[in-house]
Structure 1
């Protein structure tokens, strides 16, 4: 006998495994009793022959969920041993001598023979798998509350702290997506696809995952994996980015320098996650908690969030103004080059070009000041205190400057530049389309 595991859910129930390899018997032996051992029933059907079983354990919350270790890895059952599915993931082929489930973290801890310990983090989704669920188009699993911990680096002790990697920074959202369910038994086939980490085709109809706050206001739309089986995506607690762009910019947090544009981090609270797949909607909630080491009053937290959201709203017009001015500057440079190629043009063209360049330069200078003031978003986000009066003044300054700035810029875009191009065209100053392309004679075999 290799293991006896009394049930935590039913009196008289226990599981037992036997290992006969010392006698040349490598068959799997797994039994369950419901009457204190008076009778036993085999639940080894579906386990691979030729590999003896070392350990079995029952989930402490979900009696239907069993885990088993044999000479090649870990198997799981979501129906108390009627069907078994191998868990591969990144677990190598290795004998498994012991299994434990952490009562707080709900992690499956695997003790291997000679390959150290292996941990499958948070098996909560496996608790909710069932044959009935697996024929659904999808499912969002219950989410654990998550704390917005302020992480600390290991400076100045790089490489000397011997610390493991932190969990993903954000809320880990897990969900199930079904395939067409035409491969036989759904409880066996669909879980096998997920647990063995096999690649599968994306859902052809696609789906979306959205996040809303307690008032139903939209917070974030996440791009999520669409493979059949159990998937996961990390929501970094942020709002949608204020804008999108195709190229990777030298911009940051809020679009003001240092990385791709990002939305501000949400306030602590309860948020609703919704997934739409195949015209069906599934939802769950996730609770976001503040870091208890960084206390802050609700009033101060709200003032801070209002400043961040104000700058988040302003980020898009700042970006669009920056793009527009870069475009206009390029057009004026091209116009200057064209004018230099022509002789005896009216002086009014050169005068207007210089006036446009001066005005654009003035607007660029004003926008630089606005960007500098709006860039305070990163400092406000990084702090766990009420924004300073200077920071709030910078937010107000950025907003106060934008109406006049955009008015001047739009005047260039809508009126002055088109009028200038009309002046150029009337004098015959226009880009040369280039030389005509000729087609050589085709050579043929004789």
Structure 2
């Protein structure tokens, strides 16, 4: 008798597993009693594979049972009436012991020869039912999320390649939902291990936590939007689109609202930032209440999320709020400079197109067009050089004096303050670069309001057009 599990809901109830494999009897034996052991009922069904080693009753839902056998983990949603094998993330190997963490609701699995496994937060299984399985989309309650402040290791303390560390669970707000994807055409249907099961039968590995997603995952049809307590947009991510229970994690970072085309503006901002040698800087959302909206096709589900600060640290919420407001202002400055740089690049390409046209000599005022283009190009170069100066000699380029690099450095000092007040050095650096950035943006605006408009008028007066005369198309 490898294991006895006394019920936590009924003092007269208990579960036992028996093992007789040493005498070449590999029959699974799992039994339950409800009358202090006077009578026993077998819970073994055809779905169970291998002799049994351990059974564990869920401390919240008495109908939810977990069973460890020679060939893996099995789960029952109806008190042992039917079982399903769990295959997602758990190998086919002997499971010798099971434990459910009372605070985290994690299922800890001890195997023979394959180490320990942890299934994070099994609480959605307590709500899983046939009714849920019939839905196209169902959002499970979102547990409170705790922010995580990670310490920095000194380069002098690097352990090199001698360290081994197991995989930690993803940090962030855990969003769990059940999905029944729309059936795709045969030629578009991806290869899978078969349909996801109902709670009563089948393979639990695909239905239970069939996928997980992090911020930045490839775009899917599952759109997850985070709103603050006032209903304002905070962030957007995309979740897995697999049949069964899926998970996505929000890393507490704010993003820009999606554009009209549907592409998140953060992706656009990052692509623009890469052109100028930096990435967009994101702020961490403040602790508080948020709303999670999960949308799939015509279905939408909404849930509440509470974000709490790192419980290990003494955090002053007023400091967090002050840092957040400073970070928002710094972000606005950074975005404005990025937008100016992108706009100047577009103008440079437009001027090159005009000059190439003028070289063809098709316009009688080609010389006037070229002269005007050269003049505006000189003024444009002054602005681009102020943003990113061209190296004066070969070798490593020193762009540290360029506005682009200085804004990046100053803004990162503000947005990277975390839980401590913004340092005096970082604030001083930012206060020095902001007036310079504002003066640069004024020059850019004046350039477009005066010089570019004058150039446009010159082109119009010259009859400039990018299109050749159109000859009507006829079938001769």
More moved, 182-191 vs 122-131: 182-191
Of stretches 30-39 and 330-339 in structure 1, the one that deviates more from structure 2 is 330-339
Give the drift of 1:95. Answer: 1.5
Shift of 1:216: 1.8
Q: Report if aligned partners of 1:101, 1:107 keep a CA contact under 8 Å in 2.
A: yes
Question: Residue 158 of structure 2 corresponds to which residue in structure 1?
Answer: 157
| CA distance in 2 between partners of 1:386 and 1:410 (Å) | 39
| Equivalent residue number for residue 411 of structure 1 | 449
* Residues in 2 aligned to 1:88 and 1:241: alpha-carbon distance in whole angstroms: 38
* Structure 1 match to 2:93: 94
2:382 equivalent in structure 1: 362
Deviations 1:125-171 (A, max 9, x none): 22221223222332222333333222134542334554434432322
Q: CA deviation at 1:98?
A: 1.6
Residues 17 and 46 of structure 1: CA distance in aligned 2, closer, same or farther (over 3 Å) = same
1:164-179 → structure 2 map (5 Å cutoff):
164-178=166-180
Partner of 2:420: 385
- Map 1:294-373 to 2 at 5 A: 295-339=314-358, 348-365=368-385, 367=387, 371-372=404-405
Deviation at 1:311, TM superposition (A): 3.3
Deviations 1:200-244 (A, max 9, x none): xxxxx9443211112222111221222121111121111124735
Distance, in Å, in 2 between the alignment partners of 1:16 and 1:208 is 45
Q: How does 1:58-207 map to 2 (within 5 A)?
A: 58-154=57-153, 155=155, 156-158=157-159, 159-178=161-180, 187-188=200-201, 191=204, 193-195=206-208, 197=210, 206-207=221-222
Whether contact under 8 Å (1:373, 1:397) holds in the other structure is: no
- Equivalent residues of 2:26, 2:51 under 8 A apart: yes
The separation in 1 between residues aligned to 2:233 and 2:158, in whole angstroms, is: 42
Counterpart check, 1:232 vs 2:247: yes
TM-score (norm 2): 0.76
- After superposition, the Cα gap between the structure-2 partners of 1:34 and 1:346, relative to the gap in structure 1 and judged at 3 Å, is closer
Contact residue 106 and residue 121 of structure 1 kept, 8 A: yes
Which residue does the alignment assign to 1:441?
none
Kindly indicate whether the alpha-carbon contact (under 8 Å) linking 1:239 and 1:266 is maintained by their aligned counterparts in 2.
yes
Relative to structure 1, is the Cα distance of residues 193 and 147 closer, same or farther in structure 2, using a 3 angstrom cutoff?
closer
Q: Secondary structure at the match of 2:47?
A: coil
Q: Pick one of 279, 284, 290 that aligns with 1:271.
A: 290
1:7 alignment partner in structure 2: 7
1:252-271 maps to which residues of 2 (within 5 A)?
Answer: 257-259=277-279, 261-271=280-290
Question: Which residue of structure 2 lines up, in the alignment, with residue 219 of structure 1?
Answer: 234
CA contact (8 A) 2:86 2:203 kept: no
Q: Normalization by structure 1: what TM-score? A: 0.81
Distance 1:413 1:228 in 2: 58
Q: Which runs of 5+ in 2 are unaligned?
A: 184-194, 213-219, 258-264, 389-401, 470-476
Whole-Å separation in 2 of the counterparts to 1:359 and 1:238 = 39
CA contact (8 A) 1:138 1:177 kept: yes
Cα distance in 2 for residues equivalent to 1:121 and 1:183: 20
- Of 22-31 and 393-402, deviating more is 393-402
Contact 1:108 1:121 in 2 (8 A): yes
Q: CA RMSD in A?
A: 3.7
1:170–1:350: structure 2 CA closer, same or farther, 3 Å change rule?
Answer: same
Give the conservation status (yes or no) of the 8 Å contact 1:304–1:380: yes
Say if 1:134 and 1:190, in contact at 8 Å, map to a contact too: no
| Structure 2 counterpart SS, 1:390 | helix
Query: More displaced, 175-184 or 372-381?
Result: 175-184
Aligned to 1:251: 273
Does the residue aligned with 1:19 lie in a helix, a strand or coil? Answer: strand
